[in-house]
Chain A
Amino acid sequence: MVAMSDWVELNIGPHHPSTHGVLRLKARVEGEMVREVEPVIGYLHRNAEKLCENTFFCDNIIYFDRMDYVGAPGMEVGYLEAAEKLLGVFPPERAVWIRTIMAELSRIASHLIWLAAFGLELGMLTPFFYCFDLRESILTIFVEASGSRLLTNYCSIGGVYQDFNEKITDEVEKFVQDAPKKVEEINSLFIKNDIFISRNKGIGVLDKNVAIEYGVTGHMLRASGVEYDVRKAEPYLAYSKVNFEIPTSTKGDNLARYLVRIEEIRQSIKIISQSIKKLPEGPFFNPKAKKSMMIRLRGDGEVYARTESSKGEFGVYIVGDGGVKPYRVRVRSPSLRNLSVMRELGRNVMIADLVSILGTTDLVFGEIDR
């Protein structure tokens, strides 16, 4: 414990170049050392869960788009897993595979944003643009499929908004061919740099037990040595039919988290390349959820569904009272749990390391504050 007079309280955020939007970190610093850090959230609260109660089941997707806005289709999948279970309307085979492809594309898109921002946090300017260059080819697919770059609103209850046509499958195949080379190029910019290694090796070590206690999921848990991924543990969509691995590491430091994420990008590309080959023919929406029928769908009971979003385990809990609108919607945000562990990680580190640790946690505030 440091004497009160030696502290300086340094506010990092809510508007600061490295806080990914609107996080505020109250850091008690002593010279260059951060003794304690307290995250303050709530600056981007939009009441999304409450808004969901006033909207039809089919329209709630847009609020989920705006949660993890860097990888919107992944969030839509998370909501629909729950909503479809409640409404009893399930998508046909082709829509399931299309959703798998979109979810994995959004995972890559989200990871690329993280990689770009992480580079900037460490002072590397160039990888940022390389990441966005690769992300651009994913956004082209999103535009082709849904008409929108960021907030796609592509998946709908009982299927998807629009079928994958020839052009989209070509784009996806092209992406699968080009992406691995580009990912390796970006990776080499980071991993071959001694300063990058020295800034990240052994920094921000998250113990396995601490991670489990805090409910940390996603890459942070896997980097700490727990092989847990909802896609394997409780397969949804078409994940049981494709072949992929869960990258793990036992180190638990920044570098391990970085390596796990890079490997996740590679595995996602692998999933997409398998899915696009296995994409079956057939209808892309359930006739029970035609556009005219959609707002008449009624749900009764409670459901909880979890999916592996790009940040970790994303859970959606919906209560229906037999009406056309949900009675209650609740979201388990992975980023919030990953952020809460900052108190442990941000103890007795340097200011520079605090920023890089914050970088590897990969927070998106749309999802934390909702």
Chain B
Amino acid sequence: MSLLSRTYSIFSILGYYASTFITYLIDSIILLLVAAVAIILTIYFFRKYMARVQLRIGPNRVGKYGTLQLIADALKLMGKESILPRLRDDLPYKVAPILVFTGLMIAFSLLPYGSFFWIGDVFISNSGVGIILLFAVLAIMPIGELLAGISSHNKYSLTGALRSVAKDISFEVPMMISVLAIVVMASARTPESLNIASVVSSEILPYGILQPLGLFVFYIGMIARASYSPFDMGESESELVSGYSTEYSGMRFGLFYVGMFGTILLGSFIVSLFYLGGYNGPYQWNLGLIYLLIKAVVVIVISFTVWLTMPRIRIDKFVNLGWKYLFPISVINLILAGFLTLYLGW
């Protein structure tokens, strides 16, 4: 049972409207808290890992081993004045960071996280068209970036936003086609091939082994979605100061920052769910969540290593990469997946 229906059954005594309202309120708060803790752990892990790679120690002053550093940083960001540019377009300027963050949070609520001992299956909602919904929600984030870039009325921001958009349209199509290949393959094994949970459950052999090309395209897409090096043209610190988020400060900037690390976390979950077998593991002892987390951490470590060693690719080269390489590869992958499913029944 999903978290939503569990909470609803507790409050159903209050009648339909009241219980629905309370259910969504409580579940949003739970989601926000859990996601915040997870993202903070990701950032902490990133900073420690980056420090180790770069012959440094990393945060070690606030709390034991610097564990409270991120809390301190978050408090600092909240306490800071949010400096607003005078020539901004007020509404889009203020909505943009919220859009980025909200899109991310909704995406988190759509994923199944496997089972965990006595709690049973951990997920918030189980939509029948989860895959479509997930990528539709993820497509909101670039709109936030574009709005931020345009409404700041800053040349750096505008260039950064345009780069972001150029980047998004060139990797999202191949990425969606490689997801389609998964749906094709899952359709032979489960009647609900658009439901994320049933796709993952049908994954006896991880789809990453059956579709290495798809994994390749999708992983590059996820890196580009989270926009870190080598695909951080939208922010590109040394060229455009910080791209679309140049004019943001305080917690509004914090939302962009959290959005970036949240996307890395989300991306690693999605990659491990779709391609690495997700919460399936050798023993069926309700350990799904643990398996998923292990796989996600492995993906995160690979992502961070890529981040720390790669220089930034130029935007025109990335557009080339997207349309001339990733797109044909993903189409070939789709054809192969259809062939395997139809004729070999894999």
A interface list, Cβ under 8 A from B: 8, 10, 16-18, 29, 31-32, 119-126, 128-130, 133, 189, 193, 195-196, 198-199, 350-353, 355
* B186 shortest CB reach to chain A, Å: 34
Q: How far is the CA of A16 from the CA of B233 in the complex (A)?
A: 16
> What mask results when residues 189 to 233 of chain B are scored 1 for a CB within 8 Å of chain A, else 0?
000000000000000000000000000000000000000011011
Is B236 an interface residue when CB atoms closer than 8 A count as contact?
yes
Known A133-B55, A195-B230: A123·B308 in contact at CB below 8 Å: no
Known A8-B155, A32-B159, A195-B313: A121·B55 in contact at CB below 8 Å: no
* B311 touching A355, Cβ below 8 Å: no
* B311 touching A130, Cβ below 8 Å: no
Please give, as numbers and ranges, the residues of chain A lying within 8 Å of B86 by CB-CB distance. Answer: none
* A34 shortest CB reach to chain B, Å: 11
Among the listed B50, B307, B315, which residue makes an inter-chain contact with A32, where contact means beta carbons less than 8 Å apart? B315
Q: List 16 A-B contacts (CB under 8 A).
A: A17-B238, A121-B238, A123-B310, A124-B229, A124-B310, A124-B311, A125-B307, A128-B54, A130-B55, A193-B310, A195-B310, A198-B317, A199-B312, A199-B313, A199-B314, A352-B239
* A120 touching B159, Cβ below 8 Å: no
B interface list, Cβ under 8 A from A: 50, 53-56, 155-156, 159, 162-163, 229-230, 232-233, 236-241, 307-317
Residue of chain A at shortest CB distance from B158: A8
SS class, residues of chain B in contact with chain A: helix
Please give, as numbers and ranges, the residues of chain A lying within 8 Å of B316 by CB-CB distance. Answer: 32, 350
Please give, as numbers and ranges, the residues of chain A lying within 8 Å of B163 by CB-CB distance. Answer: 32
Q: How far is the CA of A353 from the CA of B53 in the complex (A)?
A: 27
* A193 touching B314, Cβ below 8 Å: no
Among the listed B156, B307, B308, B315, which residue makes an inter-chain contact with A352, where contact means beta carbons less than 8 Å apart? B315
* B308 touching A355, Cβ below 8 Å: no
Question: Could you list 17 further interchain pairs (A-B, Cβ under 8 angstroms) beyond the known A193-B310, A195-B311, A352-B239?
Answer: A18-B239, A29-B159, A31-B162, A32-B159, A32-B316, A122-B311, A123-B229, A123-B230, A123-B232, A123-B237, A123-B310, A124-B309, A124-B311, A125-B307, A195-B230, A199-B311, A355-B239
Residue of chain B at shortest CB distance from A122: B311
* B238 touching A120, Cβ below 8 Å: yes
Q: How far is the CA of A128 from the CA of B237 in the complex (A)?
A: 15
Please give, as numbers and ranges, the residues of chain A lying within 8 Å of B313 by CB-CB distance. Answer: 195, 198-199
Please give, as numbers and ranges, the residues of chain B lying within 8 Å of A195 by CB-CB distance. Answer: 230, 310-313
Residue of chain A at shortest CB distance from B156: A10
* B238 touching A196, Cβ below 8 Å: no
Q: How far is the CA of A352 from the CA of B238 in the complex (A)?
A: 9
Q: How far is the CA of A24 from the CA of B239 in the complex (A)?
A: 13
* A125 touching B229, Cβ below 8 Å: yes
Residue of chain B at shortest CB distance from A33: B316
* A19 shortest CB reach to chain B, Å: 9
Among the listed A8, A129, A196, which residue makes an inter-chain contact with B311, where contact means beta carbons less than 8 Å apart? A196
Residue of chain A at shortest CB distance from B50: A125
* A123 touching B312, Cβ below 8 Å: yes
* B314 touching A352, Cβ below 8 Å: yes
**Pairs of residues from A and B, 4 with the lowest C-beta to C-beta distance, nearest first:** A123-B312, A122-B311, A129-B54, A18-B238
* A352 touching B54, Cβ below 8 Å: no
Residue of chain B at shortest CB distance from A354: B239
Please give, as numbers and ranges, the residues of chain B lying within 8 Å of A8 by CB-CB distance. Answer: 155
Among the listed A128, A193, A352, which residue makes an inter-chain contact with B236, where contact means beta carbons less than 8 Å apart? A352
Please give, as numbers and ranges, the residues of chain A lying within 8 Å of B309 by CB-CB distance. Answer: 124, 126, 189, 193
Q: How far is the CA of A353 from the CA of B313 in the complex (A)?
A: 11
Known A129-B56, A195-B310: A123·B50 in contact at CB below 8 Å: no
* A193 touching B55, Cβ below 8 Å: no
Q: How far is the CA of A351 from the CA of B241 in the complex (A)?
A: 12
Q: How far is the CA of A41 from the CA of B159 in the complex (A)?
A: 25
Q: How far is the CA of A126 from the CA of B310 in the complex (A)?
A: 9
Known A10-B155, A32-B315, A198-B317: A126·B238 in contact at CB below 8 Å: no
* B151 shortest CB reach to chain A, Å: 18
Please give, as numbers and ranges, the residues of chain B lying within 8 Å of A193 by CB-CB distance. Answer: 309-311
